[in-house]
Chains A and B, each alone.
Chain A
Amino acid sequence: SYELTQPPSVSVSPGQTASITCSGDKLGDKYACWYQQKPGQSPVLVIYQDSKRPSGIPERFSGSNSGNTATLTISGTQAMDEADYYCQAWDSALGVFGGGTKLTVL
Chain B
Amino acid sequence: QVQLQESGPGLVKPSQTLSLTCTVSGGSISSGSYYWSWIRQPAGKGLEWIGRIYTSGSTNYNPSLKSRVTISVDTSKNQFSLKLSSVTAADTAVYYCARDVPGIAFDYWGQGTLVTVSS
Q: Mark A33-52, 1 if CB is under 8 A from B, else 0.
A: 10100000011110011000
Stretch at the interface among B26-34, B69-77, B109-117: B109-117
Q: B106 contacts A100, CB within 8 Å?
A: no
In the assembled complex, the CB of B45 is this many whole angstroms from the nearest CB of chain A, namely 8
Q: Mark B58-73, 1 if CB is under 8 A from A, else 0.
A: 0010111000000000
| Bound complex: CA A60 to CA B105 (Å) | 20
Q: B62 contacts A31, CB within 8 Å?
A: no
In the assembled complex, the CB of A84 is this many whole angstroms from the nearest CB of chain B, namely 8
Size category, A interface: 20 to 34
Which residues of chain A are within 8 angstroms of B39 by Cβ–Cβ distance? 95, 97
Q: Which of A89-106 contact B (CB under 8 A)?
A: 90, 93-100
B interface residues, how many (CB within 8 angstroms): 23
Q: Mark B93-105, 1 if CB is under 8 A from A, else 0.
A: 0001000110111
In the assembled complex, the CB of A27 is this many whole angstroms from the nearest CB of chain B, namely 14
Q: Which of A7-64 contact B (CB under 8 A)?
A: 31, 33, 35, 42-45, 48-49, 54
| Bound complex: CA A43 to CA B110 (Å) | 9
Provide a sorted-by-A list of 19 A–B residue pairs whose CB atoms are within 8 angstroms: A1-B64, A31-B103, A33-B104, A33-B105, A43-B109, A54-B107, A86-B47, A88-B106, A93-B60, A94-B49, A94-B62, A95-B39, A95-B106, A96-B49, A97-B39, A97-B46, A97-B49, A99-B46, A100-B47
Where the two chains meet, the residues of B that have a C-beta atom closer than 8 Å to any C-beta of A are 37, 39, 46-49, 52, 60, 62-64, 96, 100-101, 103-107, 109-112
